[in-house]
Amino acid sequence: MRIISGTARGRKLKEPDGLNIRPTTDRVKEALFNVIQFDIPGRRVLDLFAGSGQLGIECLSRGAASCDFVDTSPAAVALVRENLDRTGLTGGKVYQRDAVPFLQRGEQYDLILLDPPYEFRQWDEILQKIVQIDILNKNGIIVCETGADCVLLRPELPYELVREYRYGKSKLTLFTRQERSIKP
C-alpha cells in the first residue's frame, strides 16, 4: 500500500497482518480519490472503521485539515498510528472506540469515510445515526465501501444519494448533505 498523491506521495504504509483488516484495493482507492479529489483540501475528515488508516491518511496527504481515525480493534489503532508516523503527516487523531458512541459526540465533518469489513451488517444503523445526529456539514460527502451486492438505506433529506460505482466485488456509494431552503 502506498500513498497515491499529495505531500506523502509514494510513501509505503504498513499493511495489516492476517485477514481481520481488509484494506481498500488500489483500484478502488484510485477510483474513489478521482471522484472526491477536489472535495478534500481544507476539509475535516472522519475515517470510521479506519483499519490501516490508508483512506484518511490519503486525505491528509491531499490537504485535509484534519482526520479522526476510529476503530474498535487495538491492532488497527496501533497500525493507524504507525502509518501516520511513517508518513510524517499531522492533523490525525486516533480513537479506539465503537462507531455509534463515537458518532454520538456530535462532531461535525465535511467528509465521512465508511469502510467496515464486508460482513458488516449495521449499515442502516450507522447511516441513520449520521442523519439523526446530523454530523455532516452542508455539501459534505459520505463515502461507503461495501460488497457489490450490498443495498444501502437511502437517507432522508437533506441527505441524498449522489452515485454508486462498482469495481468487481466492491461498490462505492456516495451521499451528500444538501442545504434546502424552505419556501413560504
What was the pLDDT predicted at 153?
Answer: 84
What was the pLDDT predicted at 55?
Answer: 96
Closest CA to 56 of 145, 127, 168: 145
What whole-number distance in Å separates Cα of residue 37 and Cα of residue 70?
A: 22
State the alpha helices, DSSP H only, in the chain. Answer: 26-36, 54-61, 74-87, 99-103, 123-133
In a domain, 7, yes or no: no
The arithmetic mean of pLDDT across residues 1-21, rounded, is 83
pLDDT value at 180 more than 70: no
User: For 28-71, how does the pLDDT look when each residue is reduced to its tens digit (9 = 90+)?
Assistant: 889 999 999 999 999 999 999 999 999 999 999 999 999 999 99
| Count of CB atoms situated within 10 Å of the CB of 98 | 12
pLDDT value at 102 more than 60: yes
In a domain, 1, yes or no: no
| Sign for the pseudo-dihedral over CA of 19, 49, 52, 151 | positive
In a domain, 19, yes or no: no
User: For 15-24, how does the pLDDT look when each residue is reduced to its tens digit (9 = 90+)?
Assistant: 877 645 566 7
Bridge-based pairing of strands 170-177 and 136-147 is antiparallel
In a domain, 184, yes or no: no
Residue 76 has phi, psi (to 5 degrees) of -65, -45
In a domain, 89, yes or no: yes
What was the pLDDT predicted at 183?
Answer: 41
Return the CATH number at 90: 3.40.50.150
| Count of CB atoms situated within 10 Å of the CB of 54 | 26
